[in-house]
A and B are shown apart, each in its own frame.
Chain A
Amino acid sequence: MSSTALRAILVGVLSAHAVVAFAQEHTLPLPALRSGITFAGADVRAMQSDDVSNPGFLWVEGGEKRWNTPAGATGKSCASCHGDGRSSMRGAATRYPRYDDAVKGVEDLDARINRCRTDKQGAPPWARESEELLAISAYVAYQSRGLRLAVSIEGPAREAFDRGNAFYHARHGQMNLSCSQCHDQNWGKRLLAENLSQGHGNAFPAYRLEWQALGSLQRRIRACLFGIRADMPAPGAPELTDVELYLAWRAQGLPLEAPGVRR
Chain B
Amino acid sequence: MTKPGSRFCSRTLKPRRRWLQSGAALALLPWIPGHAAADELPQIPAMTAFLAGRKPVSERVRLTLPQLADNGQTVPMKVSVDGPFTPATRVTAINLFSEANPVPEMAQFDFPVYVERIEVESRVRLAASQKIVAVATLADGALLASAAEVIVTIAGCMDGT
A215 to B157, CA, bound (A): 17
Residues on B with beta carbons closer than 8 Å to the beta carbon of A211: 159, 161
User: Do residues A226 and B155 form an inter-chain contact, with CB atoms below 8 A?
Assistant: no
Using a CB–CB cutoff of 8 Å, the interface residues on chain B facing chain A are 30, 66, 68-71, 73-76, 153-161
Q: Beyond the given A215-B161, A226-B159, could you list 6 further A-B residue pairs with CB under 8 A, ordered by the A residue number?
A: A41-B68, A192-B155, A209-B70, A223-B161, A226-B161, A227-B159
- A263: CB under 8 A from chain B? yes
Neighbour of B155 across the interface among A46, A194, A196, A228, CB < 8 A = A194
Residues of chain A within 8 A of B76, CB atoms compared: 43, 46-47
Contact assessment for A193 and B74 in the assembled complex, using a CB-CB cutoff below 8 Å: no
Given contacts A192-B153, A193-B153, contact A227 B158 (CB under 8 A): yes
- Closest residue of A by beta carbon distance from B26: A193
Of the A-B pairs whose beta carbons lie under 8 Å apart in the complex, a sample of 25, sorted by A's number, is: A41-B70, A42-B70, A43-B66, A46-B76, A191-B157, A192-B155, A192-B156, A193-B153, A193-B156, A194-B155, A196-B156, A209-B70, A209-B71, A209-B73, A210-B159, A211-B159, A212-B73, A222-B161, A223-B157, A224-B157, A226-B157, A226-B161, A227-B158, A227-B159, A232-B161
Does residue A113 face the partner (Cβ distance < 8 Å to B)?
no
**Distance A222 CA – B158 CA, assembled complex (angstroms):** 11
**A44: CB under 8 A from chain B?**
yes
Residues of B within 8 A of A210 (CB): 71, 73, 155, 159
Interchain CB contact under 8 A, A226 and B153: no
B71 touches A42 (CB 8 A): no
* A43 in contact with B70 (CB, 8 Å): yes
Q: Which residue of B lies closest to A175 (CB)?
A: B157
Measured in the bound complex, the distance between the Cα atoms of B74 and A246 in whole Å is: 31
Q: Residues 36-48 of chain A: 1 if any B CB is under 8 Å from the residue's CB, otherwise 0? A: 0000111110110
